[in-house]
Amino acid sequence: MTYCPPAPVAVHCGRDKGHFMRSFGIVALSVMLGGCASVTRGTTENISISSTPSGVEAVVSGMEVPTTCTTPCSVVVKRNADISITFQKDGYEPQIVPLSRDIQTGGAAGFAGNLLLGGVVGIGVDAATGAATDHKPNPVIVTMQPSAPARARPPAPKKPRPPAAPAPDTGT
């Protein structure tokens, strides 16, 4: 058993050291966990992309490196990225689909877990990484519209002819 002197002198008592180590362990665990949503959901997600007809070029912008794939396909994006997808195929009108970010049930649960374990640090990590959000719509499904066929130019309007000059009088 450790002897602890009376109160004002007991700075390094075994009991205080144990309390310090326990507090340090809790703080270290909180920092290691970062954000709960970051831990449970990750900072990336898969976006599924498809189109009717298939075989459409999908250009995904908003990523560190713009990515192109041919539908149907999927790409891995960061949850905090502002993503838009441009669909293009010869004979069809191009389409652009911007994706929005929403906090989903799983993300909200991770945010709530931060209040218990991660505190302000965890909330900051989740906010910075976007770990509590999902992109919508996912999957991204587009029906391509055929482009209008090139119309032939209508014929240019004919210029009116000037009136014919009257026939000369022969005087008979």
* pLDDT tens string 18-54: 666 666 555 544 444 444 444 456 788 999 999 999 9
**Domain locations in the chain as residue ranges:** 43-111+132-145
Looking at 2.60.120, 3.30.565, 2.60.40, 2.20.25, the CATH number of the domain 43-111+132-145 comes to 2.60.40
pLDDT tens profile 76-126: 999 888 999 999 999 999 999 999 988 765 444 544 554 444 445 455 555
CB-count exposure of residue 95 (10 Å: 0-12, 13-18, 19+): middle
